[in-house]
């Protein structure tokens, strides 16, 4: 795909292409879901990776969120953030415990930052992109991120116990 004068809505097809690629990945069959859409209220092209039992039915539970707004178009930087929103009953407890547990697993991950005190996002991966590399870069990052699924599952279980 080639974009002449870029604006965030033009990136929605990239997210839809990414959805098709992720759904074909061998790891995706392990209960993963991916939603891609034009998020007009927030002026973003958006995508969320999650599992059905992560309280994300309304896009406000636990999920990996990735978006492109005008800011990302200008800076050529995109983030994938693990979010724990209001639909998860103990989001703050989840964030603190997950950040503590994941630290040794992601210590060597390039462009990854962690926070036990963030109100919604304990983990953020930021990377540079071009229109030609966006889908492959996100696909590679999600391949890496999916390995955190069991830790997220266990942290959810422990927080809700």
Is there a domain that residue 57 lies in?
yes
**Among the residues of the chain, which ranges form H helices?**
12-24, 70-75, 91-106, 134-145, 149-160
Query: What CATH number corresponds to the domain at position 72?
Result: 3.30.920
Is there a domain that residue 1 lies in?
no
pLDDT at 5: 65
- Domain carrying residue 38: 8-160
Residues of the chain short of pLDDT 70, as ranges, are 1-5
Is there a domain that residue 136 lies in?
yes
pLDDT at 52: 94
Is there a domain that residue 3 lies in?
no
pLDDT at 42: 87
Q: What is the pLDDT of residues 100-131, one digit of tens each?
A: 999 999 999 989 999 888 878 899 999 999 99
Provide the number of structural domains found in the chain.
Answer: 1
Is there a domain that residue 125 lies in?
yes
Is there a domain that residue 122 lies in?
yes
Which of 8, 6, 63 lies closest to 39, judged by CA?
8
pTM for this predicted structure: 0.92
Tokens for 75, please give them: 């800076």
Is there a domain that residue 115 lies in?
yes
Q: Within 13 Å and on the Cβ side, how many CA atoms surround 18?
A: 30
| Residue 135: partners with Cβ closer than 8 Å, 6 or more residues away | 14, 17, 18, 21
pLDDT at 34: 97
pLDDT at 31: 93
Is there a domain that residue 52 lies in?
yes
pLDDT at 2: 52
């Amino acid at each position: 795909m080639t974009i002449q004068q870029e604006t965030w809505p033009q990136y929605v097809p990239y997210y839809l292409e990414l959805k098709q690629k992720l759904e074909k990945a061998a790891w995706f069959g392990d209960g993963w879901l991916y939603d891609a859409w034009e998020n007009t209220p927030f002026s973003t092209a958006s995508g969320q990776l999650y599992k059905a039992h992560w309280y994300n039915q309304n896009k406000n539970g636990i999920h990996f969120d990735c978006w492109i707004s005008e800011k990302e178009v200008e800076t050529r930087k995109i983030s994938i953030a693990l979010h724990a929103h209001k639909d998860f009953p103990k989001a703050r407890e989840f964030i603190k415990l997950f950040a503590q547990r994941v630290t040794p697993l992601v210590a060597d991950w390039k462009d990854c930052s962690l926070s036990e005190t963030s109100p919604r996002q304990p983990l953020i991966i930021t990377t540079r992109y071009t229109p030609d590399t966006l889908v492959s870069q996100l696909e590679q990052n999600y391949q890496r991120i999916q390995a955190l699924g069991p830790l997220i599952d266990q942290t959810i279980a422990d927080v809700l116990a």
